[in-house]
Amino acid sequence: MDFKEFNNEELSNKNKELSNKMEIHKCVCCHDAPCSRMYKNINPERIIRAIKFDNKKGARNCIQDEENCLEKNLTCNEKCPLNVDIDTIIKNLLSEVDRIDNLEDIDVSTEVCGVKLENPFLLSSSIVGSRYEMCKRAMELGWAGIATKTICMMPIHESSPRFSAMKDWDRAFLGFKNIEQLSEYSVEENMKMIKRLKKEFPSKVIIASIMGRDEKEWEYLTKEVTQAGADLIELNFSCPNMKHKGTGSDVGQNPDLVEKYTRIVRNNTNIPILAKMTPNITDMREPAIAAKKGGADGIAAINTIKSITGIDMDSLVPEPQVNGKSALGGYSSKAVKPIALRFIAEMANCKDLNDIYYSGMGGIYTWKDAVEFMLLGCTSVQVTTSVMEYGYRIIDDLLLGLKIFMREKNYNNVRDFVGISKPNVINNDELEKDTVEFPKFNYEKCIGCGRCYISCRDGGHEAIKFDEKRKPTIDGSKCVGCQLCRLVCPQSAIGISSKRVKKS
């Protein structure tokens, strides 16, 4: 196609996908969304939330009556505060994906250290699992269990404010920093909560997260949570925000201390133990092996990464500012997922560590994020920041997306796919490096912006030509197949050629 001949309709078709995405990004996922009352037969909030959480197929399943789904509720006077074009989003969804039936019988049950879970999704230790009323609400919505906010015997005084965030252009968190410490509730209050939750939700799993300052405290907390009826104990060797030396990530960085404290816990309980690891370390395998030696049944990873998210340009103080000062804090959310996956892959592929359980976390927002952790060996996953951002309701799409994934891949059981991607992670020097995969332009989608040309010219191998008709083409003699062009293309108009070519 000649680029000069684009008419408005063609351009608008090329941009349809982009503008549909923008419309979806406009939606802010309101609480008690006005749009949920605007239509007779659908709840747009539920549908658009599913699309935003990488679950388009699940979104399609939220529409029962395709023919009448856009019928308005004429008695409703409410409207979307941001004027999101709901009708167009729904029409596009119906034209793009088909319903997937019979999801009810898919078995998503799994286990953590031998303890049965109705599904792999747990709340990780933090504010989201700190109070009875909150945990109750989460469990009623479908979470399989919670790791409590870390229970301790030291006085906790938190600062205000205590969070800061790196955001995407559409307001969503990319990275999140916290300078928070441990549970502000007493041991007694926490035991009361565990007992009550276990009594009211016997089939849900309670992981008691604990941290002691010395042997005696580890022993005391272990006995208390075991007696209260916790199903597992998670040892917090990883909080980066501790005031007391020799606690939190100080322990996780010291394999001897990890082994010593794990052994004390092992000697004082008969319930399974997860050791929660710090990513503020070069090689997580060393403390993980120490935890196993000390008697841990599994590894939970990762806790947050020490960080500074940004500096305010008026006061020149890093965020969050507490009376004009700040501190390093733990980084979580989407930005940390690749780092978490790396640590899980390294441990799960280590011969000394491939026979223990993994509970993975760090940046899980969607079912796909969760499945990635599972493919690398985690039988369960844990979540905090996405719940802090969007609420417990995200369990809807974690569950639905997982079921659709399993149906489409013909997995009958979670065990069928846990760890199957592990052998696909090998050392860089073992990768095949004798052939090249060239990019392939889709001129139907290309809008002639030239971004591929700029990146290849200034950050690649000067292998893309860009003619006066704004058409990019590849010079095969220069292209090394790095695929930077494909990654920068805003239109997803660059694919990969079907076969690899031997390097000349």
Ligand X SMILES: Cc1cc2nc3c(=O)[nH]c(=O)nc-3n(C[C@H](O)[C@H](O)[C@H](O)COP(=O)(O)O)c2cc1C
Does 84 sit near ligand X (CB under 6 A)?
A: no
Min dist. Cβ of residue 356 to ligand X (A): 18
Min dist. Cβ of residue 193 to ligand X (A): 14
Window contacting ligand X (CB under 6 A); options: 285-293, 356-364, 412-420, 474-482: 356-364
Q: What is the DSSP letter of 236?
A: E
Q: What is the DSSP letter of 279?
A: S
272-331: contacts with ligand X (CB under 6 A): 276, 303-304
**Measured from the CB atom, is 211 or 356 closer to ligand X?**
211
Do 138 and 161 meet the contact criterion of CB atoms below 8 Å apart? Answer: no
Q: Which residues pair with residue 254 across a beta bridge? A: none
- Whole-number Å distance between alpha carbons of 237 and 123: 18
Q: Out of 61, 110, 150, 249, which residue is the one contacting ligand X (CB under 6 A)?
A: 150
Residues 6+ apart with CB under 8 A from 171: 28
CB atoms within 10 A of CB 89: 20
Min dist. Cβ of residue 454 to ligand X (A): 33
Does 384 sit near ligand X (CB under 6 A)?
A: yes
**Measured from the CB atom, is 57 or 337 closer to ligand X?**
337
Window contacting ligand X (CB under 6 A); options: 62-70, 173-181, 189-197, 406-414: 173-181
| Tokens representing residue 204 in the block | 């849900």
- Whole-number Å distance between alpha carbons of 485 and 327: 39
Min dist. Cβ of residue 441 to ligand X (A): 37
Does 364 sit near ligand X (CB under 6 A)?
A: yes
Q: Out of 108, 182, 395, 446, which residue is the one contacting ligand X (CB under 6 A)?
A: 182
Min dist. Cβ of residue 147 to ligand X (A): 7
Min dist. Cβ of residue 340 to ligand X (A): 7
Would you mind telling me the total number of residues written for the chain in this entry? 504
272 CB-side CA count, 13 A: 20
446 as an active site residue: the answer is no
**Measured from the CB atom, is 281 or 383 closer to ligand X?**
383
**Measured from the CB atom, is 92 or 253 closer to ligand X?**
253
99-138: contacts with ligand X (CB under 6 A): 124-127
**Measured from the CB atom, is 124 or 309 closer to ligand X?**
124
Q: Out of 146, 361, 418, 485, which residue is the one contacting ligand X (CB under 6 A)?
A: 361
- Whole-number Å distance between alpha carbons of 230 and 148: 10
| Tokens representing residue 130 in the block | 């700190």
Q: Which of 62, 69, 152, 239 is catalytic?
A: 239
Residues 6+ apart with CB under 8 A from 71: 39, 40, 41
Q: Out of 55, 247, 333, 359, which residue is the one contacting ligand X (CB under 6 A)?
A: 333
What amino acid is encoded at 139 in this protein?
M
- CA torsion sign for 167, 168, 169, 172 is negative
**3-state SS track over 32-83:** CCHHHHCECCCCHHHHHHHHHCCCHHHHHHCCCCCCCCCCECCCCCCCCCCC
Window contacting ligand X (CB under 6 A); options: 3-11, 58-66, 80-88, 360-368: 360-368
Does 383 sit near ligand X (CB under 6 A)?
A: yes
- CA torsion sign for 334, 338, 344, 348 is positive
Min dist. Cβ of residue 275 to ligand X (A): 11
How many residues bind ligand X (CB under 6 A)? The answer is 26
**Measured from the CB atom, is 55 or 92 closer to ligand X?**
55
Do 443 and 487 meet the contact criterion of CB atoms below 8 Å apart? Answer: no
Using DSSP's 3-state secondary structure scheme, residue 249 falls into helix
Interface residues with ligand X (CB under 6 A) are 124-127, 149-150, 176, 178, 180, 182, 209, 236, 239, 276, 303-304, 332-333, 336, 361-364, 383-385
What positions carry a catalytic annotation?
Answer: 239
